[in-house]
Every structure is written in structure tokens, then in C-alpha cells.
Amino acid sequence: MTILAAVDGDDEPDRVVTVGQDLAEAYDDELVVVHVLEQDEFEKRGEVQRDEPYTVEDGQRDAESTARTVVKASTDRPGRVTTRGLVGNVVEELQGEVSRSDASYLVIGGRKRTPVGKALFGSVTQSILLEADVPVVAVMDE
């Protein structure tokens, strides 16, 4: 089994990684830290890159690099930590990764927002909480 921790790349260090590592150590599981490059960002990068096409593999490598950077900034504890990069819809990609990695927990970040903000922009955290097939640990911003 694994503990899956999803990082957005905005926070370095990111408490999602440290909470995920705490769970992984407590349950003697591997920690998989994943970053999803959203589809619209992937397409923007493809438009900017003129010489060679920007492929899904390029996007996955960039997303994994983001995950690695966040891990390095977030923890100095040794342990079983793997990073992965995905491209697409955040909720769908995380649900797929939960299944592929046989995750026992999903650790995600969350932001406190007003009800109007949630209604206007939606909430990835809320969607994951409602649709996840495994227990979700939401690490809220301080």
C-alpha cells in the first residue's frame, strides 16, 4: 500500500508532504508525492514551445520535477518517497493514481475560501473529498 500526497507546487515547503510522510512512517507504507499539470497549462506550454512539440511525456516530466522540488523543500527525513507527474484534470488524474498505486490514504492541501469563492470557482479539494474511494486527509493552509 502507499500514501498518496498531491502537491500543487505553489508552496515550498508544503505541509502535505510532511503529513503524508508522517502517515507513511506510521503505517510503514511508501509515500508517493504527485503533481498534476493541469490540461490548460499543458496546452499553454505547447503553444509557447515552437521548435519541437510539447508532448504529454514532457508535461509529465515537468510535473514530476515540480513534485521533486516540493519534496526537497519540505522534508529532510529519509524514507521511501517516490515522485510522479501527471497531466490532465486534477480530480480525475488523482482518482486514477489512487487506483493505480493502491493508495490507502490521499493527502491533499486546501485553502479556506468564502462561500462565494467556492461557488464561483469550484473547489478541487471539495470534489476530491466527495468523490474519493479512500480516506482523504485535507491539510488546510494556516
pLDDT-based confidence at residue 120 (cuts at 50, 70, 90): very low
Q: Write out the DSSP string of 77-91.
A: --S-EEEEEEEE-HH
Q: What is the pLDDT of residues 69-108, one digit of tens each?
A: 999 999 888 678 999 999 999 999 999 999 999 999 999 9
Rounded (5°) CA angle 42-3-30: 105
What is the CATH number that goes with domain 2-140?
3.40.50.620
CA distance 83 to 9: 13
Round the average pLDDT of the chain to a whole number and report it: 88
Q: Global pTM?
A: 0.88
Write out the H or E segment, with its range, that includes residue 2: strand 2-6
